[in-house]
Structure 1
Amino acid sequence: MSTTAALACNEIYLDANATTALLPAAQVAMLRTLTDNYGNPGSPHGAGIRARLELERARNAAAAVLRVPAGQLIFNSGATEGIQTAVLSALHTQQAGSPVRVLYGSTEHKAVPEALAHWGELLGLNLELLAIPVDSVGRHDLDWLARHAAGAALICTMAANNETGVITDLAGIGTIIAAQTPRPLWLVDGVQAFGKLDIDWLALGADYVPLSGHKLHAPKGSGILYVRDGAPFTRLLAGGGQEGNARCGTENLPGIAAIGAVCEALAAGEFGDPARLLAANARLRAAVSSAFPGVVFNSPAQHCLPTTINFSVPGVPSKRLLEVFDALGLRLSAGSACSSKTAKPSHVLMAMGLGEERATSAIRLSISPWCDATDIDAAVARLQLCGSILESQAAAMAALEQVALPEEDQELSDRYAITASQLPDWRARHAPALFIDIREPWEQAASGICPTLDGMASEQHPLSQLAQWLPQWPHQHSVLLACRSGRRSGQLLSHLRQQGYENVWHLAEGLAGLPQPR
């Protein structure tokens, strides 16, 4: 596949564990609640009744998919709120002063240990927080759990890991928990399992199961918390009595209706076919192996969701790989979207004992259960092109790594950042102005040549060649720097401003922040 052919393709989104596009049926359901059934579900008149019917339709659809009583489901803003509510409910029953043992998976999403520490402090509890170790595959050490479960007030585990896709042995954990007297409460993060694993939550015996709508084609800001009948419950939000007085505040009816539509599509078998997803996973793993010789997979296929692949290319930092992927329109990540701004290696891979070098070169590829063969065809071709560029441009990439710039001055880069909407006004005030594309040649070849902005003159000067072109700095012009994401241009702007260059600005969020063709 040539570069030109690749550029003709649309953006290929392979970061579904971070978020997903809206299911068409979910969009229809949302529009229906925004235009027709827009009433308040708490109102007694006809419009309110129709809105309430929308809400209960969604609740019943979710209950059918999850195989739990509809009355045990609470609609909320998403998994983080669900985790907070579950942790508060479990810990609120504990006595201050005495040690309270809580076990949680060492590879849990950070929302869990953060919530435990937060509510433990606010409730004045003497928490004994113990991380359940995992093996090199990422599965919980059940022998360790059996030895430490006695006397635990709460045990927190995931159904499937958000970074590696590793599937938890929920049945094994449930057996250990059921054998304890008194029985610990059990919080199971079901976010990544929703729509991908067939789990009978009621039969499993989990006490709290938070779910997030935007991970499965519903909008952001929508979610569900399942609370087992009889489990302690303390509401996080008090107010007007909505959700059976369990979660007060006017219901997010568009988001709830969208979740309901997704659940109806799941029940109808419209997406999430296991055989198709396994075939897609095999094709993508083969493509990664072919594109990147020496690649190691951090998530063995036999223990993982077919929608998630985590791999490392030894000696190639994930930052460099992501730059290649993004330049070619492949949207992947190095791990959890919630921690993407930190420079630390993945805590999940470190807990698995894979080492810092492997953890800092890790890439997460995650597809939606709604993907089809055409999506996979395009992804496979683009992965091959990424591998070719990485091999042919290794020297240029290494040269870029050698450019010594100080850390970005965030105050400076923010003050002199220009957004896409501000461009016309900035151009009018700074004519004549020069637009300098500091991307590398391979980035320009992959993403296209420097665009023309409002008729501005433009030049290409790769950052790796800064020492060659900076002496010819055009002092007679106002200069707007741009790179792919705004990170390198912000760093260079900080350096130049600190060196006394007063006529330089940079494009906020880089070229990626400009309006993109559909």
Structure 2
Amino acid sequence: MEIYLDANATTPVLAQAAQAALQAMADDFGNPSSVHSTGLKARALMDAARERAQGLLQTGGGQLLFVSGATEGIQTAVLSALHALRERRDSADHKAELLLYGATEHKAVPEALKHWNQILGLHLQIVAIPVDREGHHDLDFLQREAPRAGLVCTMAANNETGVISDLAGIEASLLRSGSRAFWMVDGVQALGKIPLQLAKTRIDYAPFSGHKLYAPKGIGMLYVREGAPFTPLMAGGGQEGSRRSGTENMSGIAALGAVLAALEDGISFRDHATLQAFRARLARALEEAFPGLVYNAPLAQTLPTTLNFAVPGLSSRLLQDLFDAAELRISGGSACSAAKAQPSFVLQAMGLPDWQAAGAVRLSIGPAVDEAFIIEACARIRACGESLRNNCLSPQDNQPTPGEGITRFALDGACCYLLADAASQRCVLIDPLPEQLPRLIQTLQCQAYPLVAVLSTQGSGLHAEARQALAEELGEALFPPAEIDALGWPVRMSELQLGAKRLRRVLPPGGRQQALVLSEAGREALLFGEPGAECAELAGLCAPALDAGAQFARRLNPAAAPQPLSEQLLPGAQLQAFVQAHPDAVLVDVREPYEQFLSHTPPLWGATLQAVPLSRLLNALPAWLARPEQPLLFFCRSGNRSRQAAAALASLGHAQAWSLSGGLALLPAFAPEDPALLV
């Protein structure tokens, strides 16, 4: 069972809302513009939903329109304000110079400003209102610049951090400045979480989205203050008083009305104090699981449903994979941009350190969660911490982790390799970068093997910098500078012994680079770095120092290698048929050990399972390539890493390398009582 902790992105549809939507589609399906009885019933349903929303938001004489969601509401509000600004300019009534928006606004706002500013030919300067380290708007800046502004856009609460804006302070700044600017407030995250009394404010426009509060996607609202200018985004049949044409989304409106009714009944949703208590318990579980965790905004100044945090030494991607393995759904920031794997612009605008902006994750609950949900969420969060400790990734209290074989650490295509031998308890590090040091040091400390050498294949100054930092941090002598050359190789040694394995180097002319050859009796060689003519007689694989294409390895002797092939994708629905058709297939789990510790494996139907994390793929390649016709089906969480593994095998000539398309996330659900799953 999944525990959904990404409610700021979207929410499941409330049971009452789903029932109301179905009833609107099956029974109350009329067009509210029709004058017959069926249409009148639909009109009554729509009017009742609107009245509930008007009461909740205290809109007074303002208009409340049903729209498709917040983005449409924002577009309509910006168009309305900018069209009015153009009319003011043309009549010489008032000439605005600026369009102001909060630096932490959802991207929909500045993008709408840019779009309509250009389309309407206003060519106003678009300026971000700075925020402080707690995410609050700079009110002095606002008061100073507001007289030149035509439109000010802020939000009631931030979607990433949960920071609640000082709307009263913003309004006071606008009033003190004497600004004639229109004011739009994004109310999406505030709906159902903090009270709003719109008619008592200077707010001209406020968009809302239903799917952030248990209504379906595709329904939202736009508040327009009485007397505020309005320009329809869409013209047509004149629905919504000619303000928003197009037949109304009656199933969405019915569902939203049911959610608003649930807000009124005081049963379906938790109150503010209860939500704060729930969040405090989640925070305690996080702090126990991740020592050193930092919150990216003060909890006392944020929505009681939101936690945005970072953990030193752990990337946002790693944390998301970890939580997902425990079936805890979190995000790396705004759902609209989380897939882009970039630092949070919200946290950057707040002036937080780069590691926090890049490593941030957001945990958010909806106001309908209950006690059992929180108990289970806390238990799984603590299990995540245990997984990190057992796999040498926790900031504190890691368990000893013996190492064996080759582990690859990749950073933007640059590859570092750790060679560890359990028998001799020795290890060698190849091509480390300074940015990788925290993770490398943690790994070396957990396995507690002496570091024999830190080598560079490229002669990079960054590798030398990392070598020096490692020696200082680990307190190991390694080799004194006088006993190693510029590439880190011990000058008095022709090879390094790692148990049964030998590591030797091949120097091209000039000696500014080196290729490192790892060999063992009865096995083909594995070369690190770039092979030159000196390596022409070697047979085996090459592990590159730079691997932007995630190839992992290539043949040292391409002329004698099988023809490269393409990986094959297997839809999850065909997994059982694939296993039954290929009884000798091996299902290879390429997730990392910290994920495997927490997660289930797919139904196997008697197939062999092998766990080979993607970071350790090099260890298994020789054995797989020795049997190029054996079916190998790789799987991971989403299908991305498994596709890399399958592509690596196929490019080396393996004829039966498959990837489970969509990964475990898209694998069809199977009933636990199915006897086939007990094999």
* Aligned residue number for residue 247 of structure 1: 244
Which of 622, 625, 644 in structure 2 is aligned with 1:471? Answer: 622
* Aligned residue number for residue 521 of structure 2: none
* Aligned residue number for residue 600 of structure 2: 448
Q: Distance in 1 between matches of 2:650 and 2:119?
A: 45
Do 1:299 and 1:310's aligned partners in 2 also have CA atoms closer than 8 Å? yes
| Cα drift, residue 12 of structure 1 | 1.1
| Cα drift, residue 275 of structure 1 | 1.2
| Cα drift, residue 25 of structure 1 | 1.4
The answer to whether the aligner puts 1:58 opposite 2:53 as a matched pair is no
Root-mean-square deviation over aligned CA pairs: 2.6
Higher relative contact order structure (alpha carbons within 8 Å, sequence separation ≥ 6): 1
* Aligned residue number for residue 639 of structure 2: 486
More helix by share: 1
Do 2:572 and 2:663's aligned partners in 1 also have CA atoms closer than 8 Å? no
Change (3 A) 1:496 1:87: farther
| Cα drift, residue 431 of structure 1 | 7.9
Do 2:629 and 2:655's aligned partners in 1 also have CA atoms closer than 8 Å? no
Paired AA for residue 476 in structure 1: E
Change (3 A) 1:478 1:43: farther
* Aligned residue number for residue 391 of structure 2: 393
| Cα drift, residue 167 of structure 1 | 0.4
| Cα drift, residue 513 of structure 1 | 1.0
Change (3 A) 1:174 1:85: same
* Aligned residue number for residue 294 of structure 2: 296
The answer to whether the aligner puts 1:35 opposite 2:186 as a matched pair is no
Q: Distance in 2 between matches of 1:258 and 1:480?
A: 43
Change (3 A) 1:70 1:195: farther
| Cα drift, residue 228 of structure 1 | 0.9
Output one character per residue of 1:57-111: Cα deviation in whole Å (capped at 9) or x when no partner: 1111111111114861111111111111111111112338976411100000111
1:118-517 superposed matches below 5 A = 118-270=115-267, 271-394=269-392, 399=407, 401-402=409-410, 404=415, 406-407=548-549, 416-421=568-573, 423=575, 433-452=585-604, 457-473=608-624, 474-516=627-669
| Cα drift, residue 269 of structure 1 | 1.9
Output one character per residue of 1:398-447: Cα deviation in whole Å (capped at 9) or x when no partner: 946449453469xx999843332455776788786543222233322311
Output one character per residue of 1:205-242: Cα deviation in whole Å (capped at 9) or x when no partner: 21110100000000111111111111111111111111
Moved more, 191-200 or 232-241: 232-241
Moved more, 147-156 or 463-472: 463-472
Q: Distance in 1 between matches of 2:69 and 2:59?
A: 18
Output one character per residue of 1:160-196: Cα deviation in whole Å (capped at 9) or x when no partner: 0001100000001011223344521001000000000
* Aligned residue number for residue 396 of structure 2: none
| Cα drift, residue 517 of structure 1 | 6.0
Paired AA for residue 406 in structure 1: A
Do 1:165 and 1:309's aligned partners in 2 also have CA atoms closer than 8 Å? yes
Q: Distance in 1 between matches of 2:237 and 2:140?
A: 46
Q: Taking structure 1 as the reference length, what is the TM-score of the superposition?
A: 0.91
Output one character per residue of 1:433-492: Cα deviation in whole Å (capped at 9) or x when no partner: 543222233322311235316x65543322222111111224113433211121211233
* Aligned residue number for residue 65 of structure 2: 74
Q: Any gaps of 5 or more consecutive residues in structure 2?
A: 394-400, 416-546, 552-563, 672-679
Q: Distance in 2 between matches of 1:153 and 1:408?
A: 50
Change (3 A) 1:242 1:501: farther
Paired AA for residue 622 in structure 2: P
| Cα drift, residue 280 of structure 1 | 0.9
Do 1:318 and 1:363's aligned partners in 2 also have CA atoms closer than 8 Å? yes
* Aligned residue number for residue 477 of structure 2: none
Paired AA for residue 488 in structure 1: R
Q: Any gaps of 5 or more consecutive residues in structure 1?
A: 1-9
Percent identity among equivalent residues? 50
Change (3 A) 1:88 1:429: farther
| Cα drift, residue 114 of structure 1 | 0.9
| Cα drift, residue 137 of structure 1 | 0.6
| Cα drift, residue 120 of structure 1 | 1.3
Do 1:266 and 1:272's aligned partners in 2 also have CA atoms closer than 8 Å? no
Do 1:483 and 1:511's aligned partners in 2 also have CA atoms closer than 8 Å? yes
| Cα drift, residue 366 of structure 1 | 0.5
Q: Distance in 2 between matches of 1:111 and 1:292?
A: 33
Change (3 A) 1:499 1:93: farther
SS at match of 2:342: coil
Change (3 A) 1:506 1:182: same
Moved more, 414-423 or 384-393: 414-423
Change (3 A) 1:435 1:277: same
Paired AA for residue 178 in structure 1: L
Do 2:61 and 2:225's aligned partners in 1 also have CA atoms closer than 8 Å? no
Do 1:42 and 1:48's aligned partners in 2 also have CA atoms closer than 8 Å? yes
Do 1:83 and 1:111's aligned partners in 2 also have CA atoms closer than 8 Å? yes
Paired AA for residue 601 in structure 2: I
Change (3 A) 1:427 1:362: same
Q: Taking structure 2 as the reference length, what is the TM-score of the superposition?
A: 0.70
SS at match of 1:488: helix
Do 1:79 and 1:191's aligned partners in 2 also have CA atoms closer than 8 Å? yes
| Cα drift, residue 296 of structure 1 | 0.8
Q: Distance in 1 between matches of 2:571 and 2:218?
A: 26
Do 1:195 and 1:272's aligned partners in 2 also have CA atoms closer than 8 Å? no
Do 1:102 and 1:127's aligned partners in 2 also have CA atoms closer than 8 Å? yes
| Cα drift, residue 112 of structure 1 | 0.5
Change (3 A) 1:134 1:117: same
* Aligned residue number for residue 435 of structure 2: none
Q: Distance in 2 between matches of 1:335 and 1:400?
A: 28
SS at match of 1:149: helix
Change (3 A) 1:70 1:511: farther
Do 1:188 and 1:210's aligned partners in 2 also have CA atoms closer than 8 Å? yes
Q: Distance in 2 between matches of 1:252 and 1:407?
A: 46
| Cα drift, residue 153 of structure 1 | 0.4
| Cα drift, residue 250 of structure 1 | 1.4
